[in-house]
Structure 1
C-alpha cells in the first residue's frame, strides 16, 4: 500500500499542486496506471500526467468526471 506524505497545511500551497499530489496518490492507491485512468475519462495518458505534475489546470466539470472515474467524492481530492 502506498503511504501518503504528511503535508503541513499551515504553509500555503497552490491548489493546483495539492490536487496534482492527491490525484497521483489516489490513482496509485487504486492501482491504476495513467493509461487506465485516461481510458475511463476518454483522454490521453499525457493529459493525466499533466494534471499530476500541475502543468494543466482542471475545470469543475472535469473534476467531477475525474472523481467519478476514480470512485471518490470530491472532498477526497480537495482540501476543503
Structure 2
C-alpha cells in the first residue's frame, strides 16, 4: 500500500471516530446500527483497512450524516 493511501485511511478513521464519539455511540452500537461487524468498525477507525462504499454508506446512515461529510477532510 502506498503512503498516500495509508494517510487517507488514517484520516478517514480519525474522522469516523470523531463523529461517532460526538454522537455518543460506542463501536458496538455503531456496528449494530450499521449492520457490520464491530471489529470492522475498529479496523476502519485505526486506518487498517479500506472499506467498501456500501459499508461507508451504512455507517453514515447509522450516524445520520452523508458520506461526503465523512470523507471531507
TM-score normalised per structure 2 = 0.82
Please state which structure has a larger fraction of its residues in helix. Answer: 2
What CA RMSD, in Å, does the superposition of the two structures yield over aligned residues?
A: 1.7
Matched, 1:63 2:62: no
Where in structure 2 are there 5+ consecutive unaligned residues? none
1:76 CA drift (Å): 1.4
Where in structure 1 are there 5+ consecutive unaligned residues? 1-11
1:42 CA drift (Å): 2.0
TM-score normalised per structure 1 = 0.76
Alignment length (residue pairs)? 69
1:73 CA drift (Å): 1.1
Q: Which of the numbers 22, 35, 43 marks the counterpart of 1:42?
A: 35
Matched, 1:53 2:46: yes
Relative contact order higher in (CA < 8 Å, ≥ 6 apart): 2
Moved over 4 A (4+): none
**Bigger Rg, which one:** 1
